[in-house]
Amino acid sequence: MRPAPLLAALVLAAAWPAASQPMAPMLTVKEVMKHVVNPAAETFWKGSGSVTTEDGVEERAPTTDAAWDALVNAAAVVLEGGVILKAPGQGPPDPEWQRFSQQLADAGALGMAAARAKDEDKVFEAGGEVYNACYACHAKYIPRPANSLWKQP
């Protein structure tokens, strides 16, 4: 092993994170919701349950491997959405924020496992857990008008 390139590589490796950090792009919480969490959750929710139309009842569970894969992917984004929300500088420095973010990540993990197992009932349940995580965090962190009929749980 030649020492000079090794040393250069070590110096580069040490300098890289410090040099790249100020440039690192980061979304706001609102953008994470709009572009990451919400579309992924919508995709996940559309993969379970049924919808009733004039033409009858349409089951929404995937029927092809590709569609199941897409559901796994959507749940993975929900999971990572929770991880992103926990990142330093994301949301208020508050243990409850961390807890709700973790709740979202856990729900995404459940969703991934259910979709990988192609288990329609578990996907439906995981969808409920995902919804609960959204609702719990919004209930605490999205302000409502004082005269709102909606009450804090």
What's the token pair of residue 52?
């009733």
From 14-22, 37-45, 50-58, 115-123, give the range in contact with ligand HEC by CB under 6 A: 37-45
From 1-9, 34-42, 64-72, 144-152, give the range in contact with ligand HEC by CB under 6 A: 34-42
Question: Using CB under 6 A, which of 104, 110, 112, 123 touches ligand HEC?
Answer: 104
Which is nearest to 131 in space by CA: 108, 99, 97, 98?
A: 108
Q: Is 45 one of the binding residues for ligand HEC (CB under 6 A)?
A: no
Torsion, CA 66, CA 69, CA 74, CA 78, rounded to 10 = 180
Distance CA 85, CA 98 (A): 8
Residue closer to ligand HEC by CB (options 22, 150) is 150
Distance CA 142, CA 86 (A): 17
From 6-14, 17-25, 26-34, 46-54, give the range in contact with ligand HEC by CB under 6 A: 26-34
Question: Using CB under 6 A, which of 97, 115, 123, 129 touches ligand HEC?
Answer: 97
Lay out the site mask for ligand HEC across 56-85 (x = CB under 6 A, - = otherwise). Answer: ----------------------x------x
Distance CA 92, CA 106 (A): 20
Question: Using CB under 6 A, which of 6, 15, 19, 34 touches ligand HEC?
Answer: 34
84 Cβ neighbours under 8 A, 6+ residues apart = 27, 32, 36, 90
Q: Give 75-108 as a 3 state SS string.
A: HHHHHHHHHHHCCCCCCCCCHHHHHHHHHHHHHH
- Interacting residues with ligand HEC (CB under 6 A): 29-30, 33-34, 37-38, 41, 78, 85, 97, 100-101, 104, 130, 133-134, 137-138, 141-142
